Amino acid sequence: MKILVTFKSVPENGAAEANTRVINPFDAIAVEEALRLRERGEAAEVAAVTIGEPAVEEQCRAALAMGADRCIRIDDARPLDPYAVARILKAVVDRESPGMVLMGKQAVDDDCGQTGQMLAGLLGWPQATFASRIALAAGRETAECTRETDAGLEVIEVRLPAVFTADLRLNEPRYVSLPGLVKARKKPIEVLTCAQLGVDARPRTALLAVAAPPQRAGGAVVASVDELVLKLREEAKVI
């Protein structure tokens, strides 16, 4: 089985002012899970895919250094929205025919948390979002998956092929090692365009403005528990 794992290059901590870019942390977890499945003999190949400008090849190298077998970069510098990304990824899935697609549950810069579910919808495949455990059944026709929901942990079984989105506790991603980096230099990064894939993925959302959120008024230090209780009761009137 081939696993397709998606990753987005994001500013560190999703912060607009950060000047270091990294693999979206949830995508690093997805890559790790794919590698572990391959290492357990459940998958034969891990292909990593990203959509972005040439500069994101640094994160392509990082994914390869972690252990992905090859990388595909869809060359696109437009500000895309999740639905555009999902349509492009759909074309990549059609081309690659993976048995599983592993993704992050959200990109920490835009915090949309949509792309995996959209891709699953476009493909007509089952989805297992917010996954904290993925266990393939013998024969690899289904996978049992634990999901982190607001109401607690839920277990579902999905038929493969399916789309999975990783939550924080799925695993702890490995660090990129020096030998890994050296090896990564020899691994292929295939560059494709939307035109080559035959997809028209014009974004349907437009960012019109960004503003700072209302700032919280600076706080006061209280000297004792008694003073805190008094303030909460008399001043803030919350207890």
Partner 1 sequence: MGRTLILMELDGRRVKRSSLHAVGFARRLGGDYVLLVIGHHLAEAATSLVGYGAETVLTADDPALAEPLADRYAQVVVEAARASRADVIVAAASTFSKDILPRAAALLDAAMLTDVVGLEPRDGQTVFNRPINAGSRIATVALEGPVRVLTVRASAFPVPDQAPAESPMGRLAVEADALPAGTRFVSRQQRTSTRPDLGEARVVVAGGRPLKDAATFEKLIGGLADVLGAAVGSTRAAVDAGMASNDLQIGQTGRVIAADLYIAAGISGSIQHLAGVKDCRVIVAINKDPEAPLVKAATYSLIGDLFQAVPELTEALKKRT
Ligand X SMILES: Nc1ncnc2c1ncn2[C@@H]1O[C@H](COP(=O)(O)O)[C@@H](O)[C@H]1O
Sequence-ordered strand ranges (E) for 41-126: 45-52, 70-75, 100-104
- Only one of the segments 46-54, 131-139, 185-193, 194-202 lies at the binding site for ligand X (rule: CB under 6 A); that segment is 46-54
Question: CB-hemisphere CA count at 13 Å for 239?
Answer: 6
Q: Residue 106 or residue 146: which is nearer to ligand X going by CB?
A: 106
Q: By rule CB under 6 A, what count of residues binds ligand X?
A: 21
Determine which residue in the list 4, 22, 27, 90 makes contact with ligand X, applying CB under 6 A. Answer: 27
Token pair, residue 150, equals 């607001």
Question: Do the Cβ atoms of 80 and 68 come closer than 8 Å?
Answer: no
Determine which residue in the list 108, 136, 166, 199 makes contact with partner 1, applying CB under 8 A. Answer: 108
Determine which residue in the list 5, 7, 22, 25 makes contact with ligand FAD, applying CB under 6 A. Answer: 25
169 contact choice in ligand X, partner 1, ligand FAD, none (CB below 5 to 8 Å, kind-dependent):
partner 1
Token pair, residue 79, equals 């500000």
Which has the closest alpha carbon to 125: 150, 94, 82, 148? 94
Q: Residue 93 or residue 184: which is nearer to ligand X going by CB?
A: 93
Q: Which of positions 135-194 make contact with partner 1 (CB under 8 A)?
A: 144, 147-159, 162, 167-169
Question: Do the Cβ atoms of 102 and 34 come closer than 8 Å?
Answer: yes
- Regarding 207 and contact with partner 1 (CB under 8 A), the answer is yes
From residue 138, give the alpha-carbon distance in Å to each of 32, 60, 94, 141, 238.
21, 32, 25, 8, 55
Are β-strands 152-159 and 142-149 bridged in parallel, bridged antiparallel, or unpaired? antiparallel
Which has the closest alpha carbon to 83: 47, 126, 113? 113
- Regarding 104 and contact with ligand X (CB under 6 A), the answer is yes
- Only one of the segments 104-112, 141-149, 152-160, 212-220 lies at the binding site for ligand X (rule: CB under 6 A); that segment is 104-112
- Regarding 30 and contact with ligand FAD (CB under 6 A), the answer is no
Q: Residue 54 or residue 121: which is nearer to partner 1 going by CB?
A: 121
Task: Please report how close the Cβ of residue 95 comes to ligand FAD at its closest, in angstroms.
Answer: 30
Q: Residue 112 or residue 189: which is nearer to ligand FAD going by CB?
A: 112
Question: Do the Cβ atoms of 166 and 176 come closer than 8 Å?
Answer: no
Q: Quickly count: other Cβ atoms within 10 Å of residue 207's Cβ.
A: 9
Q: Residue 53 or residue 157: which is nearer to partner 1 going by CB?
A: 157
Question: Which residues are CB-contacts of 8 (< 8 A; sequence separation ≥ 6)?
Answer: 23, 24, 27, 50, 51, 52, 104, 107, 109
Residues making contact with ligand FAD (CB under 6 A): 25, 108
Residues making contact with ligand X (CB under 6 A): 6-8, 24, 26-27, 50-52, 82, 85, 103-104, 106-107, 110, 112-116
